Structure 1
Amino acid sequence: MKRKIAAIFAADIAGYSRLVADDEEETLRRLASYRQVTDDFIAKGGGRIFNTAGDAVLAEFPSAVEAVRCAIDIQESLRTRNMAYPPSRQMAFRIGITIGDVVERDGDLLGDGVNIAARLEGLAEVGGICISRAVHEQVANKLSVQFADMGAQQVKNIPTPVHAYMVAMRREDGTYATPQVKKPAKAHGGAQPNWMWPVAVTVVSLAAIGVGGFLYFTKLETLAPSKVAAPTSVASSVPSPAPSAVAAAPPSPSLPMVVSSEKFAAAIVPFISDKVRASLASDYAPAADFKAFSLNIGGFNAFVTAQPSEEAAKSAAVEQCQKRADAAQSPRKCELYAVGDAVVYAHGRPPMPPLPWIRHDAVTEQPFAAKNVPLTRDGGKARLENVYTPARKHKAVALGPGGALFFPFALDSVEEAVRRALESCGGIAGVPCMIVALNDNFVVPIPTTLKVAGFFKPAGNTMIPADARDDVARRLADASSGWNAVAIGAAGRPGLGLKAATEQAAVSGALAECVKRDNNCQVIAIGPFLVGPN
C-alpha cells in the first residue's frame, strides 16, 4: 500500500431508488448512457475511476482544477440531456470533491479523502457540486465560476466539521444561480465521543441511493420491556443490528397521520421481531384506550397503554421509540403505526417479493464473501465484512435493485431473519428486495464474469422482444437449479444457457444458442441479475 495526495471526485444520482422503482429497465439503460458521458469527461480531464457501484462513481484527479472543471462539464451536459424528460424522470447527479491523503491498494483508494468526498456529495444540491475548502483554495482564482460559502458542516462519521463551498451552476440564460446554503454546523467544544462505535452498526445505500450506498450502524442492544410514569405501561424491543442502505440525507419527517380502515393485527406488523409481535398481541391488542404504537423501518418500536388522552398516547409512543432509535444511532425516524385499534401508518405494507423467498441449490450456493456482494460500494462491503460476517446466526442479507441493503442478525430463526431483512429493505428501496445471503452462504448465483447492473425480470425486459418474453420467463422458471444465463443478439433474438454446472458454462450455452438465431450476441443476465461489461 502507498499513500498519496489526490483530488477525489464522488458522484451519485439523486433519487435513484425512486427512478428504479418507477421504471427499472429504462432507468438502467439511461444510467449506462449517462455513465458514458461521465466516464468520457473524467478521462478527458485526466481522471481515473477507481470504484463504481450501482449509480455511484468515485474517481481521482491529479489536479483539483481539472476535477472541478470536469464536474461542471458533466453537470451542464447532463442538464441538457435531462431537458428531454419530464421532471419526475430526470436523472441528475450530485458531486462532491475534496483533496486528501489516501491509501492506494490494488488500484482502489481508501481513507478520509474518499469518505469526505462522499459526504460533500451528500451536501450538494441535485444537479450541483459541493467542494471542500482545500479545493476552493486551489480553484477560486483559476475558474470563472462563483462559489457560495456553506461554512463548517457537520457530517456523519467525520469527527471534525468540514468547511464546504457550493459551486454556482449556470442557468438556461447563461447567468449563474446562487446555491441554497445549508445551515453550518454548530461549534463544538470537542470531538464527539467514540465510546458507542464498538457496539454500533451503520446503514449504506448502494446505489446508490444516497451517499454512494454507505451503511449506517444500528446499535446492538436488546431492551427489556420498560415502564414510564404511571399509569403508563411501555413495552419496547430494540432489534438485532440491521444495517440498511439509505441516502445520507436527513431522515424524512413523519407524514401526517392517516387513519385507514385496517384494524390492528400484531401478526402482520412489519420490521419487528416475532417476540415483539407476541408482546403486541398479548399486551397491546387487548388493552383499553388510550394507547398507541410507534416504529421505524429499522425495527425500533414502543407502545403505550392507559394514557390520559389520545394525544398523550401518540406523543409518548413516538418519544419512547425515538429515544431508543437515537441511542442506537438509527438514521430512521419513528412514526405512528397504530392509534388505539386502528392502523395509521402512512406508508402501507413494504413491498415484498413472491414466495418462495429462498431456494436452496447446492450447485450455485457458495460461502458468503462480503467483497462479492453485488451493487454494493466498498463502504458497504466493509460493514458486511466487519459486522455481518462474524455475527451469530440467524442472519440474512437483503439487496434491492438500486443497491439498498439490510442485514439483521442474531435472530431467533431463519424465517424471522429473512422476513425482517426483506421488509426493511423493501421499505427503504420502495421495491421488492432479494435475499442474497442466508447465514454463512450466498443463496443466489453471484456473477463474477460480468458486472451486475440490477435485477433481471424477463417479463418486463425491453431488450427482449415482446413476443419472446413469456417463453424466456417460462424456460427460466423451469430451470430451477444450476446456473442460468441469457444472451441477446442485434435483432433481439434471445439465447439461453440453462441448468449449467458453472457460471462460464451457462454463459457459453447462452451465447451458443443466441448465435444460431442472431449475430453480435451479448450476455445480459446471469442468474437473477442483469449484467454488463466489467
Structure 2
Amino acid sequence: MKRKIAAIFAADIAGYSRLVAEDEEETLRRLASYRLVIDDFIAKASGRIFNTAGDAVLAEFPSAVEAVRCAIDIQESLRTRNMAYPPSRQMSFRIGITIGDVVERDGDLLGDGVNIAARLEGLAEVGGICVSRAVHEQVANKLSVQFADIGAQEVKNIPTPVHAYMVAMRREDGTYATPQVKKVAKAAPAPNWMWPLVVGVVSVVAIGVGGFLYFTKLETAQVTSSPATSIAAAPAPGPIAAPSPGPTSTMAAKAAAPMPTSSPTQMAAATPMPIPSPSTASPGKIAVEAVPFIGERQRAFLGNEYAAAGDYKAYALNIGGFFGTALNQPTEEAARNGAVDQCQRRADAAQSPRRCELYAVGNKVVYSHGAPPMPPQPWFRHDAITERAFVPKDLPMVREQARTRLENIYVQAAKSRSVALGPGGQYFWALGATSVDDAARRSLESCGAFAGSACMTVVVDDVFVVPIPTKLRANGFFHAATNPSIVADGRDEVVRKLGDATGWNAVAVGTAGRPGLGLKAADEQTAINGALADCAKHDSDCHVIAIGPFTVGPMN
C-alpha cells in the first residue's frame, strides 16, 4: 500500500432507483451510453477511474483544476443529452470533488479523501458540482468558474464539518444559476427540564441490571459438576467456486448493482463466524470453466500449472482479456503484486484502458464482480438469408472511431475472431481464439462486463451473423416483451412468432400500438412491406419499429 495526495471525483445519479423501477432496460441502456461520455472526458483530463458500483463513479486526477474542468464538461454534455427526454426521465448526475490523502491498494483508493468526495456529491444539486475548500483554493483563480460558498457542512461519518462550495452551472442563455444551499438538519437539543428525568431513569435501569447480573453469577457458580462448554470452530471452507452469475452494476458497472443473494458476506452476516482472510488458502481447484474473459489456453494453464503450484500464487485479469500470474512466491503479498503488475504491463503495452484486478489468491477466488451478464445460448446462428460480408462502416450504433479501429485491427487479424455489441453501442472483439465459439464467448463476456447488460454477437470471422438494417437506422436492441410501443396484450404474440423466425423479420405498430409482423422474408424490404401491411389490418398510421434484433428509426 502507498499513500498519496490526489484530487478525488465522485459522481452518482440522482433518483436512480426510481428511474430503474419505471423502466429498467431503458435506464440501463442510457446509463451505459452516459458512462461512455463520462469515461471519455475523464480519460481526456488525465483522470483514472478506480472504482464503480451501480450508478456511481469514483476517479482520481493529478490536478484539482483538471478534475473541476472535467466535471463541468461532463455536466454540460449530459445536460444537452437530457434535453431529448421529459423531465421525469432525465438522468442527471451529482458530482463531488475534494483533494485528500488516500491509500492505494490493488489499484483502488481508500481513505478520508474518498469518503469526503462522496459526501460532497450528496450535497451537490441535481446536475451540479460541489467542491471542498481545498479544491476551491486551487481552482478559484485558474478557471472562469463562479462559486457559491455554502459554509461548513456536517456530513455523515466525517467527524469535523466540511467547508464546501457549489459550482455555478451555466444556463442555456449563458447566465449562471445560483446554487441552492442544502440545509443539514441537526437534532434539536433536549429541554433542560428533561435531564433530571433522564438521570433518574438511567439510575433505575443500572440498579436493575446490576441485581440481575449478581444473581445470575450466583446461580452459575453453583453449576460445578457440568463439563466446560466449548464453542466449536466453524468448519474450514470447502473448495471455492467462481462467483455465480447475478445482477450486475456494472463494471459496471455501473448498471444497477444488487449483489447475489448467496454472497459470502451475506452468509456471514446471517451466521456469525470468522470470515477467512485473503491469505487463507482453500483446498481444491479454481473452477476454470467459470473464469471470464480469457481463452481456452489460459483455462488449461489454470487447471494444470497454476493448480500444481505452491501456496503463494495469484492470478490477475482485466475485462479486455489480459492476465498475469505469479507462482511460487516467497510471500502472499509478493504473489498479489506480481500478478497484478504483470497483467497491467501487458494491458498497458496493448494500450488497453481497463484496469487489472486480482481474480485468485492461492486457490481462493477473490474477484468481487461476479460473472458478467451473458445472453442465452446459442451465442450466434448462421443464416444464409441474412448473412453478408462484414464491412466495418455498416456496424450499427457505434462511433466512427470504433469503425476505424475495426478496419485497422479486426479485419486484418487471423481467425477465429468475433465482435459483440452492447445495447448502448458498446463493443468488444476477441481475436486469435481457438474456435469461433471461444471467440464469441470472450467478446460477449468482456462486452457484458463493460455494458452492464447482456450483449449480442454481431460478427463472427468475416460475416455479420445478425440482420443489419440498411433501410432504417438501428438505434438499440429490440425486446418485444418489454417494448413500450407495442400494446401490452400484443407483446406475447410477437415474442412467440419471432421465436423461431429465420430470415428477415420486421415489426410495425400504429397509433394504438397494435403490432404487425413481416416474417421469414427473403430480404429487408419485403419484411418491412409485410410488417406495414399486417399492421394496417389492425391499426392506422403504421411505422416500422424493429428489423431483426434492432429497434430502428429514420435515417439521419
TM-score by length of 2: 0.55
| Structure 1 residues 464 and 276: CA distance shift in structure 2, 3 A | same
CA distance in 2, matches of 1:526, 1:496: 10
**Partner residue in 2 for 1:90:** 91
Q: Does 1:75 align with 2:76?
A: no
Q: Does 1:527 align with 2:540?
A: no
| Structure 1 residues 378 and 92: CA distance shift in structure 2, 3 A | farther
Q: Deviations over 1:89-143 (max 9, x none)?
A: 725699xxxxxxxxxxxxxxxxxxxxxxxxxxxxxx99589xxxxxxxxxxxxxx
Q: Does 1:24 align with 2:45?
A: no
| Structure 1 residues 81 and 328: CA distance shift in structure 2, 3 A | closer
**Partner residue in 1 for 2:229:** none
Kindly report which structure 2 residues correspond to 1:227-238, keeping only aligned pairs within 5 A, or say none: none
CA distance in 2, matches of 1:277, 1:495: 47
Q: Deviations over 1:5-64 (max 9, x none)?
A: xxxxxxxx999xx989972346779999xxxxxxxxxxxxxxxxxxxxxxxxxxxxxxxx
CA distance in 2, matches of 1:350, 1:457: 20
Q: Secondary structure at the match of 1:315?
A: helix
Which letter maps to 1:169? M
Q: Deviations over 1:267-324 (max 9, x none)?
A: 2211111111111111111323111111011111112222222222212211121122
Please tell me whether the aligned partners of residues 258 and 345 of structure 1 are also in contact (alpha carbons under 8 angstroms): no
**Partner residue in 2 for 1:169:** 169
CA distance in 2, matches of 1:515, 1:28: 31
- How far apart are residue 380 of structure 1 and its match? 0.7
Kindly report which structure 2 residues correspond to 1:238-317, keeping only aligned pairs within 5 A, or say none: 264-317=286-339
- How far apart are residue 488 of structure 1 and its match? 0.9
Q: Secondary structure at the match of 2:359?
A: strand
| Structure 1 residues 14 and 532: CA distance shift in structure 2, 3 A | farther
Which letter maps to 2:515? P
Please tell me whether the aligned partners of residues 364 and 483 of structure 1 are also in contact (alpha carbons under 8 angstroms): yes
RMSD of aligned alpha carbons: 4.3
**Partner residue in 2 for 1:485:** 506
Q: Secondary structure at the match of 2:457?
A: strand
- Bigger share in helix: 2
| Structure 1 residues 258 and 519: CA distance shift in structure 2, 3 A | farther
Q: Secondary structure at the match of 1:407?
A: strand
CA distance in 1, matches of 2:84, 2:413: 48
Kindly report which structure 2 residues correspond to 1:388-407, keeping only aligned pairs within 5 A, or say none: 388-407=410-429
CA distance in 2, matches of 1:466, 1:258: 51
Q: Does 1:413 align with 2:413?
A: no
Q: Based on CA coordinates, which of the two structures has the bigger radius of gyration?
A: 2
Q: Deviations over 1:313-371 (max 9, x none)?
A: 21221112112212222111110001111111111111111011111110000111111
Which letter maps to 1:507? I
Q: Which has the higher contact order (CA 8 A, sep 6+)?
A: 1
Please tell me whether the aligned partners of residues 507 and 523 of structure 1 are also in contact (alpha carbons under 8 angstroms): yes
CA distance in 2, matches of 1:454, 1:499: 21
CA distance in 2, matches of 1:384, 1:306: 40
Which letter maps to 1:340? G
Q: Secondary structure at the match of 2:499?
A: helix
CA distance in 2, matches of 1:74, 1:393: 39
- How far apart are residue 449 of structure 1 and its match? 0.9
- How far apart are residue 80 of structure 1 and its match? 12
**Partner residue in 2 for 1:505:** 526
Uncovered stretches (5+) of structure 2, i.e. residues with no partner: 1-10, 34-71, 96-124, 130-142, 147-166, 181-250, 253-264, 266-275
CA distance in 1, matches of 2:381, 2:434: 20
Q: Secondary structure at the match of 2:481?
A: helix
CA distance in 2, matches of 1:346, 1:485: 41
Please tell me whether the aligned partners of residues 75 and 127 of structure 1 are also in contact (alpha carbons under 8 angstroms): yes
Q: Secondary structure at the match of 1:459?
A: coil
Please tell me whether the aligned partners of residues 14 and 93 of structure 1 are also in contact (alpha carbons under 8 angstroms): yes
**Partner residue in 1 for 2:537:** 516
CA distance in 1, matches of 2:358, 2:342: 11
**Partner residue in 2 for 1:370:** 392
CA distance in 2, matches of 1:502, 1:314: 55
TM-score by length of 1: 0.57
Q: Does 1:451 align with 2:453?
A: no
Equivalent pairs: percent with the same residue? 54
**Partner residue in 1 for 2:483:** 461
CA distance in 2, matches of 1:265, 1:25: 34
CA distance in 2, matches of 1:80, 1:267: 44
Please tell me whether the aligned partners of residues 387 and 465 of structure 2 are also in contact (alpha carbons under 8 angstroms): yes
| Structure 1 residues 146 and 82: CA distance shift in structure 2, 3 A | farther
Q: Does 1:355 align with 2:377?
A: yes
CA distance in 2, matches of 1:258, 1:317: 19
| Structure 1 residues 80 and 525: CA distance shift in structure 2, 3 A | closer
| Structure 1 residues 363 and 470: CA distance shift in structure 2, 3 A | same
Please tell me whether the aligned partners of residues 426 and 432 of structure 1 are also in contact (alpha carbons under 8 angstroms): yes
